[in-house]
Structure 1
Amino acid sequence: MHNKKYDLIIIGAGLAGLTAAIHLSNNNLSILVLERHTFPRHKVCGEYISNEVLPYLKHLGVDPLQAGAKMIDQFLISNKKGATLNTSLPLGGFGISRYALDEMLYNKCKQTVDFVFESVETVNFTSERFTVETQSKSTFEAKYVLGAFGKRSNLDLHLKRSFIQQKTPWMAVKAHYKYDLSEKSVQLHSFDGGYCGLSKVESNAVNACYLTTVSSFKNASSINDFQNRILSQNPHLHKFYSEAIPIFEKPLTISQISFQSKNAVENHIFMVGDSAGLIHPLCGNGMAMAIHSAKLFSELFLEAYHSKSVCRADLEKEYSKRWNETFIKRLQAGERIQRILQHPIAMKVGFGIAKIVPSILSPIIQSTHGKPIVV
């Protein structure tokens, strides 16, 4: 059993958790990261990231382009019948697998950060300190805890967060394929019950990740059946799933994805990444938001920490305020766009307008993205 004390404990080692760990440990804080899975591994993810976070990642000493990330500047969207719209991406982005990016961040992080690969069982806050207990009954103490445990976790149940009490209709499926796709384009193809993103990653594989409703998926007997019958009603997806060669032994899946609002601070735990809020996966902004939220917290925390006069209540209030100012409009825009994609009449009207006035696509895309992070 351990009982070691740290300045801050980070629960979860996704993009937000690892980014925050690098940022904070670079400023001489003792950091522990608790993560139940070892590195590296594949995750259900769109694997396209807006360039808004590229200067910040490079500032931290992590350059995805050195790992072969694909520079992407074109966007193609199709409706269920296969009609398409093309536009250039206002800011652009890059394609890289979570397997590669997480490993890069972890390798950078482990030089200055302690890691324990175990599930967290309980998080208790008493007398202005946290005690975190893991599956092996090891305990760790810190004055602050950062929640970076993703879309949905047993810890959300432990903390009695409101969103976790409600069922959600969304699930996602992801796999890598060998397929001839332009490495400069990210594509979004609609089908009954959802939409599928296609883009290349550093290994030259095409990442295919789709979001769908559970009710739509129940109409099929298996993932292959769903892809062959439902997704393939869109001719672009029919061509892809007919010709693409799977690289994974089987697709990865995740269910009960919640897009409901969450609190940026819960039980005195600061939330980052998907733990703080999840945007509908349109054009590579979820991963950028995760990284951006880590920067937002890290800078605010360091400012307060080095002032030697940290007031927890003020810090929590200010972080919640800044998180909402930075991200709430993006979440709302993503929700509106997702509703249009799922509504046949709205989608038809929207496509018709965009065909006549293609310039409207750029501000729509920008509405779900941030500006480049100034370091």
Structure 2
Amino acid sequence: MSFNVIIVGGGLAGLASAVHLSKEGLSVLLIEKHEYPKHKVCGEYISNEVLPYLNALDFNPFDYGAKKIVDFTLSTPQSRSISAKLPSGGFSISRYCIDWELSKKAKQYGAEILHVNATDIQFKNDRFEVFTHQNKKYTSELVIGSFGKRSNLDMKMNRSFVQKTSPFLGVKAHYKGDFPENAVGLHNFEGGYCGISKVENNDVNICYIADVELFKQYKNIDDFQKRVLSRNRFLKEVFDTYELAFEKPLSISQVSFSKKEPVENHILMCGDSAGMIHPLAGNGMSMAIRAAQMASQKILKFKSGKIKSRADLEIQYTEVWNKEFSSRLKSGHIIARLFRLGFFSELLMILLKTFPFILPNIIKHTHGKPMKAEL
């Protein structure tokens, strides 16, 4: 079967692209190996910068119970903390909910969603061939790669970042507990940091990034949380008093913040496939949604003839992606590195408390301006 666009990977970037392109009349196939709805390891906080674009897609997260976030608390491993108002605010919604609802919206506009594993993407004679584990082949003129942080396709393509072993793992679970629904917390601990916010069903999402080698020194996730994360008093209160809502926490390994390219093998990379920001210093969910708009708009201009060639399409997408995200990613690396320096992070917190105007400015630098409400 042939399509205008095949999207490989059905996370936020892939789903938003599928809604956008199908709403504008292109034939779209989205390939996602997991059925919806499904929980994913994710901080589940999104800044308000994306709301105008989501509204243009006829999607309002507050219709599904998303929590409005206005307050922010940051703490160090020694439990020094500072609180501030988020300059532009945000909202919290589970991936279980938002992915499922966006998938229904994509289908409403005519996109096909196929729940299989894509095993290979080949480009020849100016066309793409996408193969699945069922030995089926699908063809298209264009492919968006939104297959996440690290996948078998990255290895198949021999992308440079997969040659490096990542020192991080991610853990996430929902809990029942008394956490304010208009707040997000970001709490550092030895070797990592943990985000906390309440989602649409009043569960509290707790998601953290941790150093793999440190984690290996402990028996299991529960042991690690009690003996490492709980040295931070904010996290200790959570793990001592909240009730786990999942059967067990979800985890992923090989979480990579290494540099990636926004176009590889003629595939327009989107979301974490193009680059992942440290959750300590930004929010990848907003970046994924913004990248979906950028990729979709460039594809529509290419299909209408306003972009004359595939080479121009790839150049323009790379330029706009780097202009929008490069400085964010660099800021994220620097901030995350500073907070991993132990004693220095405590000094940094003293500085932030002495000059409280600094923190809102840092937040602004790691977030984007409001997106345009246009397709």
Normalising by the smaller structure, the TM-score range is: over 0.9
- CA shift digits 1:268-313 (9 cap, x unpaired): 0110000000000136610000000000111111112112763011
Residues 276 and 138 from structure 1, CA distance in 2 versus in 1: closer, same or farther, beyond 3 angstroms? same
Please say if 1:69 is aligned against 2:63.
Answer: no
What's the CA shift for 1:193?
Answer: 0.8
Which residue of 256, 260, 263 corresponds with 1:262?
A: 260
Letter paired with 1:83: R
What's the CA shift for 1:122?
Answer: 1.3
Structure 1 segment 289-304 matched on structure 2, within 5 A: 289-304=287-302
What's the CA shift for 1:143?
Answer: 1.0
Please say if 1:44 is aligned against 2:41.
Answer: yes
Please say if 1:245 is aligned against 2:246.
Answer: no
Return 235-244 or 339-348, whichever deviates more: 339-348
* Structure 2 segments unaligned to the other structure (5+ residues): none
Which residue of 271, 275, 278 corresponds with 2:276?
A: 278
Q: Distance in 2 between matches of 1:234 and 1:176?
A: 19
What's the CA shift for 1:8?
Answer: 0.8
Q: Distance in 1 between matches of 2:247 and 2:238?
A: 18
Would you say the 8 A contact 2:193–2:280 is kept in 1?
no
Q: Distance in 1 between matches of 2:282 and 2:167?
A: 22
Which residue of 32, 35, 40 corresponds with 2:32?
A: 35
What's the CA shift for 1:121?
Answer: 1.2
Q: Distance in 2 between matches of 1:306 and 1:48?
A: 35
Q: Which residue of 1 aligns with 2:137?
A: 139
Q: Which residue of 2 aligns with 1:212?
A: 210
Structural RMSD (CA): 1.0
TM-score by length of 1: 0.98
Letter paired with 1:197: G
- CA shift digits 1:139-168 (9 cap, x unpaired): 111111110100010000111100011101
Q: Which residue of 2 aligns with 1:361?
A: 359
Structure 1 segment 94-109 matched on structure 2, within 5 A: 94-109=91-106
- CA shift digits 1:145-197 (9 cap, x unpaired): 11010001000011110001110100010000011011111001111111111
Residues 309 and 341 from structure 1, CA distance in 2 versus in 1: closer, same or farther, beyond 3 angstroms? closer
Letter paired with 2:68: M
Q: Distance in 2 between matches of 1:231 and 1:369?
A: 27
Query: SS state of the match for residue 346, structure 2?
Result: helix
Q: Distance in 2 between matches of 1:92 and 1:160?
A: 39
Structure 1 segment 169-180 matched on structure 2, within 5 A: 169-180=167-178
Query: SS state of the match for residue 282, structure 1?
Result: helix
Would you say the 8 A contact 2:74–2:187 is kept in 1?
yes
Q: Which residue of 2 aligns with 1:229?
A: 227
Would you say the 8 A contact 2:307–2:313 is kept in 1?
no
Would you say the 8 A contact 2:281–2:331 is kept in 1?
no
Would you say the 8 A contact 2:282–2:328 is kept in 1?
no
Please say if 1:79 is aligned against 2:76.
Answer: yes
Structure 1 segment 107-126 matched on structure 2, within 5 A: 107-111=104-108, 112-126=110-124
Would you say the 8 A contact 2:161–2:259 is kept in 1?
yes
Q: Distance in 2 between matches of 1:15 and 1:85?
A: 31
Would you say the 8 A contact 1:18–1:106 is kept in 2?
yes
The number of residues matched between the two structures is 372
Please say if 1:89 is aligned against 2:54.
Answer: no
* Structure 1 segments unaligned to the other structure (5+ residues): none
Q: Which residue of 1 aligns with 2:345?
A: 347
Residues 309 and 194 from structure 1, CA distance in 2 versus in 1: closer, same or farther, beyond 3 angstroms? closer
Would you say the 8 A contact 2:78–2:231 is kept in 1?
yes
Task: State, as a whole percentage, how many aligned pairs show the same letter.
Answer: 47
Residues 303 and 322 from structure 1, CA distance in 2 versus in 1: closer, same or farther, beyond 3 angstroms? same
Letter paired with 1:195: Y
- CA shift digits 1:308-337 (9 cap, x unpaired): 763011110110011000000000111111
Letter paired with 1:6: F
Letter paired with 2:99: D
Query: SS state of the match for residue 232, structure 1?
Result: helix
